[in-house]
Amino acid sequence: MSFSKFHHLSVLLILFLLIVLTISAQAQTGFTYSGKLSPTTNGSYDFKFTLYTDATAGSAVGSPITVNSVAVSSGNYTVTLNFGATSFADAPLWMQIADRKSGTTIFTNVKGRVLETSRFSLLSLLSENALAIGGYPVSSAAPASGQALVWNGSAWAPATVSGGQTYQAGAGLSLNGNVFSIANAGVVGSMLAAGAVTAPAIASGAVTSSAIAAGAVTSSALANSAVTTAALADGAVTASKISLPLALSGSTGAQSPVVQVTNSGSGIAIKGVSNTSSGYGLSGSSANGVGGHFDGSIGVYSDGVSEGVYGFASAGPGVMGESSATGSYGGYFDNNNGSGIYASSTNTFGDGGDFYGELNGIFASGTAPGSYGVSAISYGDADGVAVSGNSGAYGYGIYGSSPSGVAGGFNGNVSVTGTLTAGAKNFKIDHPLDPANKYLLHSCVESADMKNLYDGMITLDAGGQAIVELPDWFEALNKDFRYQLTCIGGFAPVYIAQEIQNNRFQIAGGRPGMKISWQVTGVRQDAYAIAHPLEVEQDKPQDKKGKFLHPKELGYPESMGEDYEMRQRLEQRHAAPTPAQGR
């Protein structure tokens, strides 16, 4: 082969390689897009995809892509799109999606445009298979467990991130971040050598009860009954010779005291004084019995600056009162300058007060004009409840009755998660034409079905047609649709050209530009409606048969009412108790 022919062949080969490399370096612009219509949408649909320079307005970029006959199942669909690299030169761009039933002519825009340019930020425009982050290449090396992508100067590559220290708390310690502290019950007896803990070695408040395990400090240094009363001369032990606190213990029979002090005069047998606000003048406790027992005309009389009586119990009532006399009270509280009873609980799930009774758990009466029998306020957040009522299967959580007034009044919004039942349901407002002197009332529209009603106005297009768009939840909520159309300003044989499908329906048969008033009703098919269908006719419970919800309106006496006996119990009144006498 001559040199000239060889030279021409080499040039052709170089040109061929350049073309191949140029083709392989084209940007990867095709991608798969998955979208979703209404969950009830199924069948074959056509889609049109258009790029815009703005999320709501802007101008179109490039030519739209139309994909026909796409299978849609439960609203889900997948298409392959390729707008070309030039379409993304002015990123970011937004993609508008429109759809139509295959075989129809009108595309309808899906609400909201999709920001689609971001899917190309990880694709390098240098090679079809190369990846880049921020324009810098990513290594193809496989990562190991626990590794992360780290820039090594030439590429993003998998690497192990080193550094940091590991800490572990030993016995008796707890670790929070890098701070060690003594754990609850962390110090046990076996950790302390005899005589190791001395008073100078302990800082004030350094050792708390929660840091010492149960049984770590024992009383083995003292022999049982080592100190007896026989060993002590009268007056031998004075206050200055006693190391406080002083603990006395012993065992006696029922009703016999371990320590007894008697004063035969008119003074005080035992007096306890505390000079601090957190101290106790006198304290008594019992593992399973009574912490303190007092007899007398008045069992306990207390005169306190803040609280007259304060009671605390870790498992039971803090203060409990009981009376066996007929017509008396287990507890009586009187205040001539405030509240008779104040009760509170600081526990998240605690109650300020619990009341139980065979007749009424609470009987409350307000004697002043305009007063309240029960007044409750909740200072909680959105979950706070001022008054909570709960009853058995056939009782009332809250029951109100008034012979001529209003049984219940609510100033604000009312939420009912169950069924609201009433003889009549009205709205009542100040009369628009005379609000100072009159009310205006309307009654609700009733039905034997759980029916919803929707209506609106629409203008027909040049073909005398219109598509009415309904909310995307419409078919999920409703079924069994009914339609009504009315022409405005003239007559035309308008009709429903296509019933509700994919949350829309079509009107046809009118004149261009004609206004149409439409109305659609549907029966609820949501989960609650299915679980609690309306039972139009019901048999009365056995205890309600022969009685009436509205006896007076049916010509019967009030005593034939279903709730007559309950109202009688609520209307019982108790005489005010006689105030107890103090000292």
User: Strand 504-508 vs strand 515-524: parallel, antiparallel, or unpaired?
Assistant: unpaired
- SS3 category, 424: coil
Six-digit token string for 316:
């039971």
Q: Which residues of 76-100 are buried (b: 16+ CB within 10 A; e: fewer)?
A: ebeeeeebeeebbeeeebbbbbbbe
The pair of structure tokens assigned to 356 is: 């139980």
* Among the listed residues 174, 210, 177, 207, the one whose alpha carbon sits nearest the alpha carbon of residue 192: 207
Give the separation between CA 564 and CA 546, rounded to whole angstroms.
13
156 bridge partner residues: 138, 151
| CB atoms near residue 571 (< 10 Å) | 9
Distance CA 379, CA 386 (A): 8
**Closest residue by Cα to residue 49 from 146, 3, 116:** 116
Amino acid at 450: M
The reported pLDDT for the residue numbered 121 is 39
Whether 530 contacts 479, CB under 8 Å: no
pLDDT tens digits, residue range 133-180?
544 677 767 788 877 777 787 777 888 866 555 667 777 788 776 677
- Cis previous bond, 245, omega within 30: yes
Compute the chain's Rg from CA coordinates.
43
pLDDT at 504: 97
What tens-digit pLDDT sequence spans the chain (583 residues)?
443 443 444 434 434 433 443 444 444 667 888 888 889 999 999 999 998 888 888 888 888 999 999 999 999 999 998 887 656 666 678 889 999 999 999 999 988 787 665 444 333 333 334 455 544 677 767 788 877 777 787 777 888 866 555 667 777 788 776 677 777 766 666 666 665 555 555 555 554 555 445 555 444 433 454 445 554 455 544 555 454 565 666 667 666 676 676 777 767 767 777 777 667 767 777 666 666 666 666 666 666 666 666 677 766 676 777 776 665 666 766 666 666 677 776 666 666 666 666 656 666 666 666 666 677 777 666 666 767 777 666 667 777 776 666 777 777 777 777 777 777 777 788 999 999 999 888 888 888 899 999 999 999 999 999 999 999 999 999 999 999 999 999 999 999 999 999 999 999 999 999 999 999 999 999 999 999 999 989 899 998 899 998 899 999 999 998 888 877 776 665 445 555 555 5
- Specify the length of the chain in residues: 583
How far is Cα 137 from Cα 133, in angstroms, rounded to an integer? 7
Q: Looking only at Cα atoms, what is the longest distance across the chain?
A: 145
Q: Work out whether strand 156-159 and strand 515-524 pair parallel, antiparallel, or are unpaired.
A: unpaired
Residue (of 105, 110, 54) closest to 77 by Cα position:
110
What secondary structure letter does DSSP report for 60? Answer: E
Task: Report whether 532 contacts 419 (CB < 8 A).
Answer: yes
Indicate the residue type of 479: K
3-class secondary-structure state, position 544? helix
Hey, what amino acid is at 456?
G
> Which residues have C-beta within 8 Å of that of residue 206, sequence separation ≥ 6?
none
Report which of 102, 90, 107 is spatially closest to residue 49, judged by C-alpha positions.
107
Structural domains in the chain, sorted by start: 31-122 (2.60.40), 451-531 (2.60.40), 539-577 (no CATH)
Does residue 480 contact residue 514 with C-beta atoms inside 8 Å? no
pLDDT at 214: 54
SS3 state of residue 558: helix
Beta strand ranges found along 435-534 (DSSP E): 439-443, 451-459, 466-469, 478-488, 495-498, 504-508, 515-524
Query: Strand, helix or coil at 109?
Result: strand
Residue 26 has, within 13 A of its CA and on its CB side, a CA count of 9
Look at residue 131 in the predicted model and tell me its pLDDT. Answer: 55
Residues 6+ apart with CB under 8 A from 141: 157, 158
